[in-house]
């Protein structure tokens, strides 16, 4: 489904990724490991067309990620970055903005569905009136997760999405993603809960190979 072929990437002359190749098949749950700066987040940026590889290519469903294909590929991936950059303003306005995008007109963003999701991730009913700037780190992470689920996509790129959550909520999030067999996801996380399920695979970027 997603193939990274001989990827090389440098920022300002500094090599970040050197000759990495691996494939993630549909339905696979993958944890990316490696120390800080080993290029884990850059792999997501490459697949979403935010940066271009120095060498090599990324393919999604057999299609090379480039300036023509990337616009459709982005519509198939739900992405959460480690800073949870969901913008600012009222939460309800953010929901309206997302459902107002042309690519998302088919989405079910009805109050009932949103409410169920918000409730599952333990938000108060009146969260829509709150400003994103007033949310705690953990609330922002849960909000980004709610949005990623609302997008009804089957592929998830999750970059440190549980780091600010307590144990109970971490478990809830991990369980939510694990129970969906049809979902493919790549996770960057130091949270051991993601590794509890035996089906989870681990790719180490420093060694450039599968280690689990």
Considering the rule CB under 8 A, would residue 117 count as an interface residue with another protein? no
* Distance between CA atoms of residues 72 and 75, nearest Å: 5
Of 59, 92, 104, 154, the one binding another protein (CB under 8 A) is: 104
Q: How far is the CB of 210 from another protein (least distance, A)?
A: 26
* Distance between CA atoms of residues 82 and 98, nearest Å: 20
Of 75, 111, 167, 209, the one binding another protein (CB under 8 A) is: 75
Classify each residue of 97-119 as buried b or exposed e, where b means 16 or more C-beta atoms within 10 Å of its C-beta: ebbeeeeeeeeebeeeebeebbe
Q: How far is the CB of 87 from another protein (least distance, A)?
A: 5
Considering the rule CB under 8 A, would residue 20 count as an interface residue with another protein? no
Considering the rule CB under 8 A, would residue 102 count as an interface residue with another protein? yes
Site string for another protein, 22-61 (x = CB under 8 A): -----------------------x--xxxxx---------
Q: How far is the CB of 14 from another protein (least distance, A)?
A: 15
Nearer to another protein, 99 or 171 (CB): 99
Of 13, 36, 62, 67, the one binding another protein (CB under 8 A) is: 67
Considering the rule CB under 8 A, would residue 159 count as an interface residue with another protein? no
- How far is the CA of 99 from the CAs of 27, 95, 141, 151, 208, in angstroms? 26, 6, 19, 9, 39
* Distance between CA atoms of residues 32 and 186, nearest Å: 7
- How far is the CA of 185 from the CAs of 25, 31, 40, 112, in angstroms? 10, 8, 14, 26
Considering the rule CB under 8 A, would residue 101 count as an interface residue with another protein? yes
Q: How far is the CB of 173 from another protein (least distance, A)?
A: 19
Residues of this chain that bind another protein (CB under 8 A) = 45, 48-52, 66-68, 70-71, 74-75, 77-79, 81, 83, 85-88, 98, 101-104, 147, 151
């Amino acid at each position: 489904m997603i193939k990274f072929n001989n990827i090389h990437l440098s920022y300002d002359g500094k090599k970040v990724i050197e000759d990495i190749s691996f494939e993630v098949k549909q339905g696979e749950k993958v944890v990316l490991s490696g120390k800080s700066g080993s290029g884990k987040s850059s792999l997501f940026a490459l697949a979403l067309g935010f940066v271009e590889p120095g060498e090599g290519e990324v393919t999604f469903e057999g299609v090379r990620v480039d300036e023509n294909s990337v616009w459709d590929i982005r519509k198939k991936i739900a992405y959460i970055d480690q800073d949870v950059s969901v913008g600012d303003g009222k939460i309800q306005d953010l929901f309206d903005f997302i459902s107002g995008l042309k690519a998302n007109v088919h989405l079910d963003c009805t109050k009932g569905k949103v409410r169920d999701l918000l409730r599952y991730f333990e938000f108060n009913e009146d969260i829509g009136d709150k400003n994103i700037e007033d949310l705690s780190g953990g609330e922002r992470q849960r909000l980004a997760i709610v949005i990623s689920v609302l997008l009804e996509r089957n592929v998830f790129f999750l970059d440190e999405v549980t780091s600010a959550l307590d144990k109970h909520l971490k478990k809830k999030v991990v369980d939510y993603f694990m129970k969906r067999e049809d979902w493919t996801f790549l996770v960057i996380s130091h949270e051991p809960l993601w590794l509890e399920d035996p089906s989870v695979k681990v790719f180490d970027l420093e060694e450039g190979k599968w280690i689990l």
